[in-house]
């Protein structure tokens, strides 16, 4: 579903050119539960941003569901991101003045779906992620784990092909983080949604069905596991 061929990405830091990715190649199949691991500066977040059409590549190719990203105009990339990719961030990125329900429903409102369908899909998904009865609470009235569950529901509500999760357990204690991973693993199994994580959390690596390690912008190892 995702093909990455010899991808390169450079950044300028003052007078220094930083080689964030140095020719990364890999394929990600539909339904995978993949962790991209590595220390800070290894390139894992950069790779997620390129897959998610947030940043542009400097060399190589990335294709999602047969669409080659480098050949798409900015408006076309927005449409790919809007319909095919969901995001979960370590800082949750919820809108503080909106309720849990509104933070999720707004995604479908932007897609201009009928109000009745929006309500049905949003309530069903909030129940699925364990937030029944908390629909009207604003983020400040939710725990960190509950806020991240809202973020997961927001990522899933449009039924994307792939969910990109950048350090999703970084701001959670170990118990809450494991509960979140179990939730995403169940959704991966039940819905067939592809999950790709960037992480340096050993627990996230342990849950991964495939573990790809980056070091200094290059793939150090790539293994599939039975978990």
Domains and CATH numbers, the chain: 31-45+74-224 (3.40.50.300)
Name the E strands within 65-151.
67-68, 85-89
Evaluate the CA torsion angle 62, 66, 69, 71 in order and state its sign: positive
Collapsed DSSP state (helix, strand, coil) of residue 69: helix
pLDDT at 90: 83
Name residue 61's beta-bridge partners: 5
Q: State the distance between the two ends of the chain, measured CA to CA, in whole angstroms.
A: 22
**CA-derived radius of gyration, the chain:** 17
Per the CB < 8 A criterion, the answer to whether 131 and 146 are in contact is yes
pLDDT of residue 15: 84
* Contact indicator for 107, 158 with CB cutoff of 8 Å: yes
Instruction: Tell me which residues of the chain have a pLDDT lower than 70.
Output: 227
Total residue count of the chain as it appears in this document = 227
């Amino acid at each position: 579903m995702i093909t990455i061929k010899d991808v390169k990405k450079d950044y300028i830091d003052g007078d220094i050119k930083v080689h964030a990715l140095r020719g990364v190649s890999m394929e990600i199949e539909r339904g995978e539960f993949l962790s991209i691991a590595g220390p800070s500066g290894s390139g894992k977040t950069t790779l997620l941003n390129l897959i998610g059409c947030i940043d542009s590549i400097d060399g190589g190719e990335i294709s999602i569901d047969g669409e080659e990203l480098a050949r798409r105009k900015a408006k076309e990339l927005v449409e790919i991101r809007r319909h095919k990719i969901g995001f979960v961030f370590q800082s949750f990125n919820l809108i503080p003045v909106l309720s849990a329900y509104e933070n999720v429903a707004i995604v479908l409102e932007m897609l201009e779906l009928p109000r009745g369908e929006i309500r049905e899909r949003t309530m069903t998904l909030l129940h699925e992620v364990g937030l029944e009865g908390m629909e009207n609470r604003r983020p400040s009235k939710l725990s960190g784990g509950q806020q991240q569950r809202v973020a997961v529901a927001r990522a899933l509500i449009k039924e994307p092909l792939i969910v990109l999760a950048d350090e999703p357990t970084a701001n959670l204690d170990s118990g809450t983080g494991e509960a979140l991973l179990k939730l995403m693993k169940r959704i991966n199994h039940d819905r067939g949604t592809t999950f790709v994580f960037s992480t340096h959390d050993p627990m996230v690596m342990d849950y991964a069905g495939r573990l790809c390690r980056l070091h200094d912008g290059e793939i150090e190892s790539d293994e599939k596991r039975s978990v």
